[in-house]
Amino acid sequence: MKKYLNNKYILFFAMAPFISLAITQTITDLIAIIQGILAAIVPLIFSLAVIYFIWTTAQYILKEGDAKNEARSHMIWGIVILFVMVSIWGLVAILTNTFLL
């Protein structure tokens, strides 16, 4: 019976409420940190996508022949990527405002 009633187990169960409170606060802090990082990264990603689109548009204007067709396909994919990014950003904003997050 002594084998199962070790002092460290009793201490753990006595401290469990405090441990759960500490975990909750650290998770809340971690979520706040992740939100801050994403708030900085999202505009950077949008900027890179717009720069990519402008670059492929310039390539489309300057190139000839087969390279022009390749630049055109990259340009179309750039538009698709920008549309998807803006759509997801809008959906996240709608969900955030709907559920008051």
pLDDT exceeds cutoff 70 at 20: no
pLDDT at 83: 94
pLDDT exceeds cutoff 90 at 18: no
Which pair of tokens denotes residue 73? 């396909």
Confirm if 71 and 39 have CB atoms less than 8 A apart.
no
Q: Which residues contact 53 (CB under 8 A, 6 or more apart)?
A: 75, 78, 79, 82
Q: Judge if pTM exceeds 0.75.
A: no
pLDDT exceeds cutoff 80 at 43: yes
pLDDT at 35: 82
